[in-house]
Amino acid sequence: MIYLDSAATTKVFPEVLDNLKKIHQEYYANPNSIHPDGQKSRRAIDEVRRFFSQIAGAQEEEIIFTSCATESNNTVIKGLYEAFPEKNHVIVSPIEHKSVLSPLRYLSKKGVKVDFLNVDKNGIVDIDEIRKKITPKTLFVGIIHVNNETGVIQDLEEIGKLCREKDVLFFSDVVQSFGKINVPFDYLDFFSVSGHKINAPKGVGLLKRKKEVSVVPLLHGGGQEFGLRSGTENTSGIVSLKIAAEKWLQIREGFLEKSRKLENMLTFRLKSEIPEIKVVSEGFKVPYITTVLFPGVDGHSMVIALGRRGIAVSSGSACSTGSPLPSHVLLSYGFSEKDALSGVRFSFGFDTTEEDVETAVKETVEVYKKLLSFSGFS
Ligand code: PLP
């Protein structure tokens, strides 16, 4: 399989895999136990917390380990709502991940006004619109950093400055940017990270919270993670998260350079074979996530046909694959339903090669032409 679906999930780094057995053996004990082996696990977690707090310019108590970014996002959204019931207004982009949109839908049923911003044809939010929408009742502004479908990057620094000026909490889902591009951590009160998007195993995530701000926990129990996330810590996942993040710090410049080359190859070659395609957010996105619209065909059918030829890609977000609905992200850009259904996402990982992209282009062109001839458009 040529794997061009790293935005959905990543392969665990060999360095992480090689260490997993050792980590499970060394840190098997419950970090909440006071005997020496328990304290050894505790120290391992503390060290990882220190590492991430330094990266984020945060206090150690502001780093909370969770099970995934979905949990981190839910904790922020529902937890702030519970803590500040008098604030009944939230401002978000329309291109958030479902793990942000779904808890917001829950909040809207409780009477919170969820104010969706517009995005332009490239998927960018307008900072002036945020400025106009902020009121004394605004609980938080939530803007995804890099969108998981199109790779579009938002200017978190400018939005963060505005939120600070207006004294409103700012939250960002940095799942697709963390480790890979610069994240303006200084401006974020809350952010969420997922282990399996940075080549750590599934089952571990991180939430950075602002210590002075109350958040009601989702899980009540033993009071781990400073009372915000009860449940015995996933020590092996947490230690693996650090190994994976360290590796990204080492490779990220090279990865970005390689991704730019691969992105150029992908889009240039596809355009020269199929001039009518559209690269979404071109010029405004990270190079490692690219959604291409293939007019006249169904992106879902292309993904299935490519899968049969050994190419793993996605249509829309992987989480909604199987759903016949057009992507909410592409609809927000103003694309028609038909265009939004024609999207295929190619996303690169640390080990993607030029040969992978060459083969993917060749197969994609063949599949497109075949599907187009079936659909009666050609
Ligand atoms: N946010 C974004 C931008 C994502 O791409 C994903 C995963 O697809 C998530 C959140 C959810 O992450 P997790 O699978 O860790 O819950």
The ranges assigned to domains in the chain are 2-7+252-374, 14-246
What atom in ligand 1 is closest to the CA of residue 196?
A: 15
Q: Of 90, 68, 62, 61, give the one whose Cα is nearest residue 78.
A: 90
Percent of the chain having pLDDT more than 90?
Answer: 96
Residue 375's pLDDT is 76
Ligand 1 pocket test, pick from 75, 194, 347 with the greatest ligand atom count within 8 Å of Cβ, gives 194
Q: What is the C-alpha to C-alpha distance for residues 237 and 42, in angstroms, rounded to an integer?
A: 13
Q: What is the C-alpha to C-alpha distance for residues 82 and 224, in angstroms, rounded to an integer?
A: 19
Ligand 1: centre distance to CA 140 (Å): 20
Which numeric CATH code is attached to 2-7+252-374? 3.90.1150.10
pLDDT, tens digit, 9 for 90 and up, residues 197-239: 999 999 999 999 999 999 999 999 999 999 999 999 999 999 9
Asked if 113 and 88 touch (Cβ cutoff 8 Å), the reply is yes
User: What type of residue is 104?
Assistant: L
Q: Tell the CATH topology of 14-246.
A: Aspartate Aminotransferase; domain 2 (3.40.640)
How many helices (H) and strands (E) the chain has is answered by 11, 12
User: What type of residue is 3?
Assistant: Y
Ligand 1 pocket test, pick from 99, 156, 180 with the greatest ligand atom count within 8 Å of Cβ, gives 99
Which position among 319, 331, 365, 372 bears the catalytic label?
A: 319
Mean pLDDT, residues 51-75 taken together: 98
Q: Is pLDDT at 320 greater than 60 in this prediction?
A: no
Average pLDDT, the chain: 96
Q: Is pLDDT at 316 greater than 90 in this prediction?
A: no
What atom in ligand 1 is closest to the CA of residue 202?
A: 15
